[in-house]
Structure 1
């Protein structure tokens, strides 16, 4: 009976020792087998493995691509115009042994802190060598590639591979935004004033050209009118002369009637003449008209 009481605990202990000899690594992980702090085995493939219980331990690390977002960082480009920059990086553990030696038991958290410092230094160094216009432009691919390459070289000592670096924000500091907006507004207002001045000048030129064209057209029209009027008068005189030549007496008669009609219009208020005036002597008046009918 006493032997059974000792066998049961011993069996439980033995079972625990056997179970602790096995470990699993899933497809998202990589692992190191350590013995008294020294690396004995690197496990890169998922599956079931064995270790020496109580002597060896398994440390697992994330085998996927990890992300790191930096805190807002002020940088000073070549033109001494301060900018606030945010960035994020994609990285992964490339060398487990070197990673363990670099970060110790701190794991991914310690690696992120050290990688954050590496990224900040790379951002400051790269952006400090270019003007702010290059940083604020739409195409910053070359700058991001330079930051990535420099961070990759420095992070290699951690056993880390920096895959990509992207700039998420590049803005002016808050205290500079108001002054910058005011300057931009003044520049736009100046440009608008220049455009209005150029537009007014162009409008004045158009109005002057239109006025000149009106004067030229009016003068030409008056010239043509005078020519037409002169031609009409010449034709009228020719008609009068032709009529006179055909029947001088009848022509004189019609001219006399026209004269009387014009002199006796309703607008005529009074007529002052002598009793012996030609106006009352029709025959003599007609004869006087017949002397030069074209002039009458």
Structure 2
């Protein structure tokens, strides 16, 4: 191989080495800073292809997307000095690459640890000024809003990150007090249930008494009306009988005698002792009932 070819190969190899070590790419999902002997000289590298001087410049890349830091559940005390276990998480992204690199050395895990500590401190302060009722339901949304507002400035100035959102996932009572709280809640619910049952029983007794009274009144009115109708019917029957019998008194006397004979001799072996000249045998002596 001639010296010319050797020189050409060396030049090509040098160009390849310079290209591989001098060119770099910043993706759309990345943020980066350009360093010169460890000092930040360009804090905001734009996405695309860039050039750096090997051995002089260095590039640190960070994830530019929204990241999540999931804090460990911590015990906080409310305004009444009651302990609560609060589990939370936060969404953040790098906003100031130079400050982020200076504060965390470009390590996302380090940034998450620092942010988690500040979130816990903020939650401790926010829970301490509220009651259990306010933390659990009454002002839970406001707590997260206040926490995000108070932490956002700190996160920007100290860590170079923007706090997108802070959320409380779960709020529990500590295991050492939850049992007593549950027992007290059960006792309160049982007391409330007994009160409701007694009120229901009292109302039911009132309804039964009113229904019984109404039934008695209805029966009395019905009996009165029935007796009145029965009396009117008996009176009408008596009037009809009287008019019928007045038309033929002799026939009426005859039918009454037949009925008396039927009732007197309805049984077997009956014995009847009467005077021979008794009116009982009036129509047996003569069909006309003559004396």
Q: Normalising to structure 1: TM-score of the pair?
A: 0.82
Per-residue deviation, residues 4-51 of structure 1 (Å, max 9, x unmatched): 999988986686456433333222222212223321112431222222
What is the aligned-residue RMSD (CA, Å)? Answer: 3.3
Aligned to 1:136: 136
CA distance in structure 1 between the partners assigned to 2:213 and 2:47 by the alignment: 92
CA distance in structure 2 between the partners assigned to 1:10 and 1:243 by the alignment: 153
**Greater CA drift, 11-20 or 21-30:** 11-20
Shift in Å, 1:73: 1.1
Q: Determine if the alignment matches structure 1 residue 242 to structure 2 residue 240.
A: no
**Matched positions, count:** 285
Shift in Å, 1:207: 2.1
Contact 1:85 1:169 in 2 (8 A): yes
Counterparts in 2 of 1:234 and 1:17: CA distance versus 1, 3 Å: closer
Q: Determine if the alignment matches structure 1 residue 65 to structure 2 residue 71.
A: no
Counterparts in 2 of 1:2 and 1:210: CA distance versus 1, 3 Å: closer
Aligned to 2:193: 192
- The alignment partner of 2:90 has SS state of strand
Q: Determine if the alignment matches structure 1 residue 48 to structure 2 residue 37.
A: no
Aligned to 2:108: 108
- The alignment partner of 2:24 has SS state of strand
Per-residue deviation, residues 150-174 of structure 1 (Å, max 9, x unmatched): 1112111211110111111112122
Gaps of 5+ in 1: 290-296
Gaps of 5+ in 2: none
CA distance in structure 1 between the partners assigned to 2:15 and 2:36 by the alignment: 21
Q: Normalising to structure 2: TM-score of the pair?
A: 0.83
- The alignment partner of 2:107 has SS state of helix
CA distance in structure 2 between the partners assigned to 1:4 and 1:274 by the alignment: 173
- The alignment partner of 1:137 has SS state of helix
Aligned to 2:183: 182
